[in-house]
């Protein structure tokens, strides 16, 4: 699967933002949260989560947070039950024991007790709701917290911010042509990632087992696997923001702990320095023809260097050029000519959608129009059935790893059929396929775009369709408790019943001790 075009996901290192995140995490002198955010209102699809994935695979980060990494996804509109469930899941992942915690305050206190002595990193994606964030935002002296949000106002006071917005021109061009040939970036001398990511440390996933990191990507290789979600991080109350000039005084009870932790951090930094990372890989590349360079630059400008649109355009260009074949080893005149023709055809499709150069990236409505147009162009080559199945993914949660088995239920396909369809969608950048884990995920802006295609009643019918498909897999005599243990059904059935308007069945479900027993275990 490693070299398969079906599973390729482009990853372009952004060294400026990347090194700032790593630097802040390793220099938590005052135990302040680190936040990957955006300066654009409601900005999604700028690569914040992708950047965090790569940071979690950095050997320096793994060495420092030696007790591991926890990754959780929050989002907006969580009920108290949802929030309590997430806290309990993290506690279970850390201890291996289910805790009968009846309220958020008790669960939060227990979580902090477990986290405090550990040197761990907690990554919180979709950290857009300040109230939902509170139970997770305190770490022990050895831990840290990395927040990912498009809502800058949700961040706690003192959070150290790294803004991730549009790409640099060379980064944009590299993403646009990623995977078309195997030789890496164009018109460049070195891989800007600086070093390959190496195994080391531990990464956990919420509800899954312990894994170790795989070797990471170069410029034009596959993105690092989604860090499996689970491990620790709580934060001491913010004492001082080192980037302002407020003359705050640290409490004496904390002073010794701060000094001790700084000594430990320096020790880890020295240890990492004593074992230097591999030198950057030399990736000298031939210069592309001037007319192709101009076409690439113009298309990047037309797409406003927005990583989401560049990734979708890359999927379209790559699939049209390769048609499922393994890419060639290097740029040839034939590939350059074919790429030029594909870019011109894509520009014509953008013309028909009314997407011209000069639209305002800081305007949410302009971003939505541009995304709708590019999405339409990327979906056009799909069959009618594939497009319908893609839109059905609107029923699944955003930014979660969805088991392929759950999509197979929704699509009423067997595993091979579901994998083939997911591969076709992944090839065009419409989803991110994680074949090693038999899962996929849908980027939040694309998820919102899909949901916008449905009226409220239609979306309820979509949820109802998924519920009915799962119901067919339950025993006629055992009911809901006999459903498949596929890593999705027991975790999400209640939410789909609510969204489908079947609240009466939800009440019955909550009194079904057979179902509850399987849900808890």
**In a 3-state reduction of DSSP, which class is residue 190?**
strand
Instruction: Give yes or no: residues 180 and 167 share one domain.
Output: yes
Residue 431 lies in a domain: yes
Kindly report which listed range (38-52, 238-252, 370-384, 486-500) carries the lowest average pLDDT score. 238-252
Do the domain assignments include residue 224? no
Domain end marker among 165, 181, 211: 211
Q: Quick one: pLDDT at residue 434?
A: 83
Domain boundary among 195, 211, 227: 211
Mean pLDDT for 11-25 is: 89
What percentage of the chain exceeds 90 in pLDDT?
25
Average pLDDT value for residue range 2-21: 76
The answer to whether residues 367 and 471 belong to one domain is no
- Phi, psi for residue 224 in degrees, rounded to 5: -65, 150
User: Does 353 have pLDDT greater than 80?
Assistant: yes
Give the dihedral of Cα atoms 318, 290, 45, 159; nearest 10 deg.
140
- Domain with 198, as residue range(s), is 15-211
Same domain, 364 and 486: no
d(CA 298, CA 180): 19
Assess whether 328 and 403 both reside in one domain: no
Mean pLDDT of the residues in the chain: 76
Higher pLDDT, 89 or 284: 89
Residue 360 has pLDDT above 80, yes or no: yes
State which H helix or E strand residue 490 sits in.
helix 489-499
Short-list 354, 390, 393, 388, CA closest to 371: 354
- Ranking 296-310, 342-356, 475-489 by mean pLDDT, the lowest is 475-489
Q: Do 398 and 420 belong to one domain?
A: yes
pLDDT at 501: 92
Model confidence band, residue 322 (pLDDT cutoffs 50, 70, 90): confident
Which is more confidently placed, 142 or 265?
142
Please give the share of the chain, as a percent, with pLDDT higher than 70: 77
Query: How many of the other CB atoms lie within 10 Å of CB of 330?
Result: 12
- pLDDT of residue 115 exceeding 90: no
| Run of H or E residues at 146 | strand 144-148
Tell whether 369 and 418 lie within a shared domain: no
Q: Are 63 and 384 in contact (CB under 8 A)?
A: no
Q: What is the pLDDT of residue 5?
A: 55
Are residue 398 and residue 341 in the same domain, yes or no?
A: no
Last residue within a domain, chosen from 328, 354, 379: 379
Residue 288 DSSP SS3: coil
Q: Judge if 333 and 406 occupy the same domain.
A: no
Domain count, the chain: 3
Cβ contacts of 98 within 8 Å, gap of 6 or more: 88, 92, 520, 521
Residue bearing tokens 């994935």: 53
In this structure, what DSSP letter does residue 142 have?
T
Q: Are 370 and 482 within one domain?
A: no
Exposure letters 455-477 (e unless 16+ CB within 10 A, then b): eeeebbebbbbbbeebeeebeee
Note whether residue 156 is domain-resident.
yes
Q: Is residue 394 domain-shared with residue 344, that is, in the same domain?
A: no
pLDDT-based confidence at 344, cuts 50/70/90?
very high
How confident is the model at residue 238, as a pLDDT?
25
What is the sign, positive or negative, of the torsion defined by CA atoms of 77, 44, 38, 50? positive
| DSSP per-residue string spanning 195-229 | S-----S-EE-TTS-EE-PPP---TTSBPPPPPPS
Per the rule left: phi > 0, alpha: psi between -120 and 50, beta: everything else, 119 is beta
Q: How confident is the model at residue 350 (pLDDT cuts 50, 70, 90)?
A: very high
CATH code, domain carrying 503 = 1.10.10.10
Cβ contact 72:90 at 8 Å: yes
pLDDT for res 232: 29
pLDDT over 70 at 289, yes or no: yes
Q: Which CATH number characterizes residue 51's domain?
A: 3.40.50.300
Does the pLDDT of residue 199 top 50, yes or no? no
pLDDT tens by residue, 373-418: 999 888 888 999 999 999 999 999 887 889 999 999 999 999 999 9
Q: Same domain, yes or no, for 133 and 64?
A: yes
Same-domain status, 19 and 121: yes
Report the C-alpha gap between 424 and 420 in whole angstroms.
Answer: 6
Which residues, in sequence order, are bridge partners of residue 115?
none
């Amino acid at each position: 699967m490693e070299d398969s075009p079906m599973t390729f996901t482009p990853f372009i290192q952004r060294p400026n933002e990347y090194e700032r995140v790593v630097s802040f995490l390793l220099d938590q002198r005052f135990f302040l949260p680190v936040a990957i955010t955006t300066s654009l209102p409601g900005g999604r699809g700028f690569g914040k989560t992708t950047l965090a994935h790569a940071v979690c695979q950095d050997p320096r980060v793994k060495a420092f947070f030696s007790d591991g990494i926890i990754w959780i996804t929050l989002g907006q509109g969580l009920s108290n039950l949802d929030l309590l469930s997430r806290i309990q899941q993290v506690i279970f992942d850390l201890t291996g024991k289910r805790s009968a915690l009846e309220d958020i305050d008790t669960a939060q206190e227990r979580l902090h007790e477990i986290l405090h002595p550990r040197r761990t990193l907690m990554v919180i994606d979709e950290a857009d709701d300040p109230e939902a964030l509170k139970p997770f935002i305190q770490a022990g002296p050895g831990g840290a917290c990395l927040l990912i949000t498009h809502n800058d106002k949700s961040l706690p006071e003192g959070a150290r911010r790294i803004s991730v917005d549009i790409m640099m021109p060379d980064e944009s061009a590299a993403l646009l042509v990623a995977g078309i040939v195997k030789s890496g970036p164009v018109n460049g001398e070195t891989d800007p990632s600086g070093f390959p990511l190496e195994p080391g440390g531990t990464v956990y996933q919420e509800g899954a087992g312990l894994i170790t990191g795989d070797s990471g990507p170069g410029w034009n290789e596959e993105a690092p696997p989604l860090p499996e979600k689970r491990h620790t991080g709580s934060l001491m109350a913010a004492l001082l923001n080192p980037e302002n000039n407020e003359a705050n005084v640290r409490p004496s009870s904390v002073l010794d702990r701060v000094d001790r932790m700084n000594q430990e951090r320096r020790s880890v930094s020295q240890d990492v320095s004593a074992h230097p990372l591999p030198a950057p890989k030399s990736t000298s590349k031939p210069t592309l023809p001037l007319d192709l360079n101009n076409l690439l630059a113009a298309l990047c400008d037309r797409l406003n260097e927005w990583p989401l649109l560049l990734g979708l355009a890359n999927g379209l260009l790559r699939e049209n050029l390769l048609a499922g074949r393994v890419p060639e080893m290097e740029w040839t005149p034939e590939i350059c000519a074919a790429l030029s023709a594909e870019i011109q055809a894509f520009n014509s499709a953008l013309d028909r959608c009314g997407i011209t150069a000069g639209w305002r990236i800081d305007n949410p409505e302009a971003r939505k129009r541009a995304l709708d147009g590019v999405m339409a162009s990327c979906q056009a080559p799909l069959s009618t059935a594939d497009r319908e199945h893609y839109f059905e993914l609107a029923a699944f949660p955003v930014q979660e790893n969805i088991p392929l088995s759950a999509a197979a239920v929704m699509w009423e396909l067997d595993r091979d059929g579901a994998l083939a369809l997911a591969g076709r969608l992944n090839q065009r950048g419409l989803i991110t396929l994680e074949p090693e884990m038999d899962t996929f995920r849908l980027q939040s802006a694309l998820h919102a775009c899909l949901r916008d295609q449905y009226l409220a009643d239609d979306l309820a019918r979509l949820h109802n369709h998924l519920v009915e498909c799962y119901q067919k897999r339950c025993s006629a005599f055992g009911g809901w408790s006999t459903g498949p243990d596929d890593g999705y059904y027991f975790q999400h059935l209640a939410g789909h019943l609510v969204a489908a308007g079947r609240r009466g069945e939800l009440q019955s479900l909550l009194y079904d001790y057979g179902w509850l027993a399987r849900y808890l275990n």
